[in-house]
């Protein structure tokens, strides 16, 4: 670790991993409820478990992004963090607020939670992914502002690199777009139209800037390739991400009451959305091939290559699969969407956070550059188990989705939703089995932090 204040990233990463475990456990509950409908009913109804599953994902990724920024920014700017104390204070505020929110989901009926938290004053709850009580949303904004202030002040007093500027731009965009979560008009079409300004312009917009800059940082570190080359790639990738992704929002506007010209704008631009992800893959492999050193942290290198490939498959290929309007007419809101969502989030955002943790954690725990071989081998096992099982989760959900589309939407005699769900149950069972393998991979991942810590550090080969 080059700067003492980078250590504030550590609690952020630990919290991220802790919440990740919670997310996966609730994912397994949901998967089982798909086939054993009354599992844990009425204690944990599906809607509650799903809210916990998706909200934990968002919160732990935010912990991961913030941790990544606190580690990356001092090193890039070559100066200590503006205020490590503020960073630690915000950490606890965010963790406690997040924990209280999840407990609220689990312990109080949702309508009671809405009442308790004064949702009537400014109703923002009850919309997908934005289920948090309004007061939690305000808390998120406060934490985000404090965080941006801290990072921004550090950036101002230090060296301004492309990597840190792009990261900052992504994080500012994240905070700004979140403000649309407070806009909840009665008009359902308006509501949906601007709801996507949070959801789409996060994951297919500004988050890609965050992902690409973290990837660029790690690649600079582990490959030793000239910064100029990597930063040039970074600019081209994020240029393509925003050029395609902003108008690409249109692929959500086909069937919600917006004008039909969105079918053209959305189809054309979102068909181009795989390009930045493909470039990321080419970029990562290119840089690793041109490496000037063999970094001893092989696990971090594996995550970096893995995230580039899986983001391309999950976000790029599986996104393209159902993005053209004539296809989406039949697939909209089916298990195809779920399949895409799982692999895209895992490939792009889970794996980039794990890449950063893999790279930074050894240094924060007193190693010079990397964990012992033993620990790395276990971590790489967890990489393969989680990644391969996620591929299978995606394939099973895709199969379920194709059948669902055929039976419920496309055939001459369309069948009712629940009738079709029963017929595709086999694929839900297989998805659940793949989910269990994912959990095993996650357990190995956690264990990799505890094994081989007494053994000597892996050396440059």
Site for another protein in 350-409 (CB under 8 A): 408-409
Compute the distance between CA of residue 45 and CA of residue 26 in angstroms, rounded to an integer: 11
Nearer to another protein, 2 or 187 (CB): 187
Degrees, nearest 5: CA angle 328-34-327: 10
Compute the distance between CA of residue 368 and CA of residue 249 in angstroms, rounded to an integer: 44
CB of 277 to another protein, least distance (A): 16
Q: Is residue 91 part of the contact set for another protein (CB under 8 A)? A: no
Of the candidates 5, 6, 119, 375, which one interacts with another protein according to CB under 8 A? 119
Of the candidates 156, 257, 294, 460, which one interacts with another protein according to CB under 8 A? 257
Q: Is residue 438 part of the contact set for another protein (CB under 8 A)? A: no
Q: Is residue 78 part of the contact set for another protein (CB under 8 A)? A: no
**Beta-carbon contacts of residue 358 (< 8 Å; ≥ 6 apart):** 297, 299, 300, 303, 379
- Span from 94-102, 245-253, 310-318, 364-372 in contact with another protein (CB under 8 A): 245-253
Q: Is residue 110 part of the contact set for another protein (CB under 8 A)? A: yes
Tell me, rounded to whole angstroms, the distance of Cα 51 from its chain centroid: 15
**Beta-carbon contacts of residue 45 (< 8 Å; ≥ 6 apart):** none
| Residue 195 to residues 62, 107, 141, 321, Cα–Cα distance (Å) | 19, 27, 17, 23
Q: Is residue 242 part of the contact set for another protein (CB under 8 A)? A: yes
Give the x-and-dash track for 313-342 against another protein (CB under 8 A).
----------------xx-xxxx-xx----
Tokens of 308: 């580039």
- Span from 85-93, 237-245, 377-385, 386-394 in contact with another protein (CB under 8 A): 237-245
Asked whether 392 and 434 are in contact (CB, 8 A), the reply is: yes
Asked whether 90 and 21 are in contact (CB, 8 A), the reply is: no
Give the x-and-dash track for 30-49 against another protein (CB under 8 A).
---xx-xxx--xx--xxxx-
Which 8-state DSSP code applies to residue 346?
I
* Helix, strand, coil distribution of the chain in percent, nearest 5: 75, 0, 20
- Span from 57-65, 105-113, 147-155, 298-306 in contact with another protein (CB under 8 A): 105-113
Compute the distance between CA of residue 294 and CA of residue 221 in angstroms, rounded to an integer: 11
Q: Is residue 103 part of the contact set for another protein (CB under 8 A)? A: no
CB of 254 to another protein, least distance (A): 7
What residue has token string 């009850």?
126
CB of 402 to another protein, least distance (A): 14
CB of 409 to another protein, least distance (A): 5
Asked whether 83 and 60 are in contact (CB, 8 A), the reply is: no
**Across 48-130, where does the E strand assignment appear?**
none
Nearer to another protein, 107 or 189 (CB): 189
Nearer to another protein, 84 or 276 (CB): 276
Asked whether 210 and 171 are in contact (CB, 8 A), the reply is: yes
- Span from 64-72, 79-87, 138-146, 417-425 in contact with another protein (CB under 8 A): 417-425
CB of 199 to another protein, least distance (A): 9
Q: Is residue 260 part of the contact set for another protein (CB under 8 A)? A: yes
Q: Is residue 179 part of the contact set for another protein (CB under 8 A)? A: no
């Amino acid at each position: 670790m080059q700067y003492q204040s980078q250590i504030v990233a550590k609690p952020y990463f630990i919290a991220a991993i802790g919440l990740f475990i919670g997310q996966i456990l609730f994912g397994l509950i949901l998967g089982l409820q798909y086939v054993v409908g009354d599992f844990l009913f009425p204690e944990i109804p599906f809607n509650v478990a799903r809210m916990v599953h998706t909200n934990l994902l968002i919160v732990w990724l935010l912990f991961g992004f913030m941790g990544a920024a606190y580690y990356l920014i001092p090193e890039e700017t070559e100066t200590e963090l503006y205020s490590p104390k503020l960073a630690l204070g915000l950490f606890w505020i965010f963790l406690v607020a997040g924990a209280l929110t999840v407990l609220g989901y689990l312990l109080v009926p949702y309508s009671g939670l809405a009442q308790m938290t004064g949702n009537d004053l400014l109703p923002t709850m009850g919309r997908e992914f934005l289920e948090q009580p309004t007061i939690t949303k305000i808390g998120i904004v406060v934490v985000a502002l404090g965080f941006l202030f801290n990072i921004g002040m550090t950036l101002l007093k230090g060296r301004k690199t492309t990597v840190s500027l792009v990261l900052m731009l992504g994080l500012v965009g994240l905070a700004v777009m979140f403000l649309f979560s407070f806009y909840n008009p009665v008009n359902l079409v308006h509501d949906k139209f601007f709801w996507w300004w949070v959801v789409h312009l996060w994951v297919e917009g500004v988050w890609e800037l965050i992902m690409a800059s973290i990837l660029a940082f790690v690649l600079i570190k582990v490959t030793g390739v000239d910064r100029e080359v990597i930063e040039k790639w970074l600019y081209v990738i994020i240029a393509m991400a925003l050029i395609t992704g902003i108008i690409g929002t249109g692929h959500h506007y086909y069937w919600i009451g917006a004008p039909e010209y969105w079918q053209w704008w959305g189809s054309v631009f979102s068909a181009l959305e795989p390009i930045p992800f493909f470039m990321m893959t080419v970029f990562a492999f290119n840089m690793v091939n041109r490496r000037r050193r063999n970094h001893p942290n092989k696990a971090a290198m594996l995550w970096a290559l893995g995230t580039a490939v899986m983001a391309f498959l999950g976000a790029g290929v599986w996104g393209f699969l159902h993005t053209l309007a004539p296809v989406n007419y039949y697939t909209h809101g089916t298990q195809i969407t779920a399949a895409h969502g799982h692999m895209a989030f895992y490939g792009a955002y889970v794996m980039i956070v794990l890449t950063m943790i893999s790279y930074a954690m050894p240094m924060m725990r007193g190693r010079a550059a990397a964990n012992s071989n033993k620990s790395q081998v276990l971590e790489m096992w967890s990489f393969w188990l989680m990644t391969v099982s996620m591929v299978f989760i995606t394939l099973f959900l895709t199969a379920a989705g194709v059948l669902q589309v055929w039976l419920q939407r496309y055939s001459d005699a369309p069948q009712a939703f629940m009738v079709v769900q029963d017929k595709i149950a086999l694929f839900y069972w297989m998805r659940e089995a793949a989910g269990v393998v994912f959990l095993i991979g996650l357990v190995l991942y956690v264990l990799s932090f505890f094994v081989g810590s007494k053994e000597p550090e892996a050396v440059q080969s």
